[in-house]
Amino acid sequence: MPSYSRVALVTGANKGIGFAIARDLCRQFSGDVVLTARDVERGRAAVQQLQGEGLSPRFHQLDIDDLQSIRALRAFLRKEYGGLNVLVNNAGIAFKIDDPTPFDIQAEMTLKTNFFATRNVCSELLPIVKPHGRVVNVSSLQGSKALENCSEDLQEKFRCKTLTEEDLVELMKKFVEDTKNEVHEREGWPNSAYGVSKLGVTVLSRILARRLDEKRQADRILLNACCPGWVKTDMAGAHGCRTVEEGAETPVYLALLPPDATEPHGQLVWDKVVQNW
User: Could you give the residue numbers annotated as active site?
Assistant: 194
Q: Are 124 and 167 in contact (CB under 8 A)?
A: no
| Runs of H (alpha helix) within 29-151 | 40-52, 67-81, 103-111, 118-125, 141-148
Instruction: Please state the separation of Cα 88 from the chain's center in Å.
Output: 6
> Which SS3 state, helix, strand or coil, does residue 252 take?
helix
CA atoms 210, 216, 220, 224: torsion sign: negative
Helix boundaries (H) for 82-164: 103-111, 118-125, 141-148, 152-159
The secondary structure element, H or E, covering residue 226 is strand 222-227
Query: What is the H or E stretch that residue 165 is in?
Result: helix 165-180
Helix (H), strand (E) at residue 131: strand 129-138
Query: 248 to each of 160, 199, 263, how far by Cα in Å?
Result: 30, 20, 19
As beta bridge partners, residue 33 has 8
The dihedral region occupied by 226, where left means phi > 0, alpha psi between -120 and 50, and beta the remainder, is beta
Counting other chains too, the contacts that 258-265 makes at CB distance below 8 Å and 24 or more residues apart are 259/132, 259/220, 261/222, 262/220, 262/222, 263/222, 264/222, 264/224, 265/209, 265/213, 265/222, 265/223, 265/224
End-to-end CA distance of the chain: 44
